[in-house]
Amino acid sequence: MTRSSLNRPVLVVDDEADIRDLMEMTLMKMGLSVDTAEGVAIAKNKLNQSKYSLVLTDMRMPDGSGLEVVEHITKNQMDTPVAVITAFGNADQAVQALKIGAFDYLQKPITFYFGAITYAG
């Protein structure tokens, strides 16, 4: 990731408006610009139109899987790190997400602190 890519917005992909809003507010308080998408199709469209510094995507959405977002980024050689976030995770999904290009796989709820993402404990 280049220094200029750090100025790009973060894309938050989640079908739940409350989760999107909470993540957006938290990231904005950290001084980051944020864009949101309420599903896989909208996320892919936004990724094709804009560049992002980071993508945080939910795993399960009505129109598909967060893994499709990861695959889209990898297939199109976008220089965008992506983390998959889920409330219904398992080891197989985590391994699959990491194999296809995600840099992390997080269980909900997550906690943001000092510009980093960590597991809520």
Domains of the chain, CATH where assigned:
3-119 (3.40.50.2300)
- pLDDT at 86 > cutoff 70: yes
For 97, which DSSP code?
Answer: H
What distance in Å separates the CA atoms of residue 111 and residue 93, rounded to the nearest whole number?
A: 21
Q: pLDDT tens digit string along 36-82?
A: 999 999 999 999 999 999 999 999 999 999 999 999 999 999 989 99
**Residues 6+ away with beta carbon under 8 Å from 101:** 70, 71, 73, 74, 82
Predicted TM-score of the model (pTM): 0.84
**Average pLDDT for the chain:** 86
* Pairwise pLDDT comparison (107 vs 8), residue with the higher score: 8
| pLDDT for position 120 | 45
Distances (CA, A) of 39 to 15, 69, 76, 90, 115: 6, 9, 19, 21, 25
Q: pLDDT tens digit string along 27-49?
A: 999 899 999 999 999 999 999 99
Q: Spell out the alpha helix ranges (H) of the chain.
A: 17-29, 40-49, 66-75, 91-99
Whether 86 contacts 59, CB under 8 Å: yes
What distance in Å separates the CA atoms of residue 105 and residue 98, rounded to the nearest whole number?
A: 7
